[in-house]
Chains A and B, each alone.
Chain A
Amino acid sequence: MKADKKILKSASIIAGALLTTSLIAAPSASPDILAYNDLGSGSEVRSQLINQNQVNGAESTAYKFGELKCGEGKCGEGKCGEDDKKTEAKKEDAKKADAKTADTQTADAKTADTKEESKKKSKKKK
């Protein structure tokens, strides 16, 4: 991932950044100068900001794939080893098989429905 201008790595860069603010210009410490606040976990920050930002009619998911358990999300490659990827692949295969079964079942059900409907229709005709 390429280095980003927003990431602060060096104290000298930060000191330079601070010079542009009014912080250092203040001759004595104000009560706010050493204030900081805990914004919480990713999901807490997100939920709060989504609620605050909600535009009419917009719906957002309040989770990220980063917070799903390993194997459930699409990321996590930095955290999980190859074994987890294999497990994930197996899960995917199992899901596909389930989906196919479900599709087949749905198709069967539809066929059964169609048969019943045509029976009813033929009875009506009679």
Chain B
Amino acid sequence: MKLSEDTARIQDILGDYCRTGEGEQIPGIIPGRVNHYRRLVYNVIRSNMDRAFPITLAALGEEEWDQLVQEFFSKGLPQTPQIWKLPYEFYNYHLMKETGIRIQKPYLEDLLYFEWIEIEVHTMPDKPFPEYLSSGNIFMDRLALNPEFEMIRLNYPVHMHPAAAAADMKGDYFVLIFRVPDTGNVKFLNLSGIHTYILARLMEEDLPLKDLKGDIAQTAGIESIKYLDDALEKFIGDLIDKRLILGYLKE
């Protein structure tokens, strides 16, 4: 049902007031009470952000964290009607505003993203699983990947170190995040660049590992085939145990 112009206008004024604490007199509101709306709405946003970004809160401390949430609340103009997606808008707002640089916490963007990606992977829509067999040959058979995962690249190792220490360790870091079938739990793996490359090739191409080995060896600068075979066998075997690789595709 479409709102009347008056109702829509009053709602807008109330919304603006709740976000900024400023605004014209709202018709029909008893003075001294409207500030409680603002307080209560802010509490919902703050609580949502606290739960979505507990590591960032711990790293920044209460005061600085509150400033970030306040700024987003008053200036961010979130667009999503779904509260679980609000943390992404929070991350995106501070990314666009380059808050990390402004507050001299260069790792901020990575840390917020690292925390958001867990929610994204946990809540991603179910994807169709390939048909697979439990037994097969790691090198000769095509591998069936669990499709519910993401690989991300970070500039700071905030997934392994305290943020303050990570700030001095700028580089390239790769993290695999996946949802375990059946339990729905999210797991994290810290990967080398080569592992990231191997997984991306497996994901993109419908080929058995034996056909990719040459490229992998060349990309990684590995000369010993035995060394590569042993490492691949261990890596793929481990991913099968962890259920990132489900098994072997049915031919």
Contact = CB atoms under 8 A, between A and B. Distances in A.
Interface string A40-56: 11100110011011111
Contacts of B126: 78-79
A60 B154 contact: no
Contacts of A57: 61-62
Interface residues of B, number: 74
A103 B163 CA distance: 43
B55 A23 contact: no
Given A24-B219, A42-B188, A74 B83 contact: yes
A8 B193 CA distance: 11
Interface residues of A, number: 59
A50 B222 contact: no
Contact of A29 (B174, B188, B224): B224
Contacts of A77: 82, 84, 123
B119 interface: yes
Interface in A26-72: 26-29, 32-42, 45-46, 49-50, 52-67
Interface stretch (B10-18, B23-31, B145-153): B145-153
Contacts, number: 196
B192 A36 contact: yes
A82 interface: no
B32 interface: no
Interface stretch (B1-9, B44-52, B68-76, B135-143): B44-52
A60 B190 CA distance: 24
B128 interface: no
Contact of B50 (A13, A49, A61, A78): A61
B61 A14 contact: no
Interface in B155-173: 158-164, 171-172
Contacts of A83: none
Nearest to A32: B192
Contact of A36 (B55, B62, B235): B235
B48 A64 contact: no
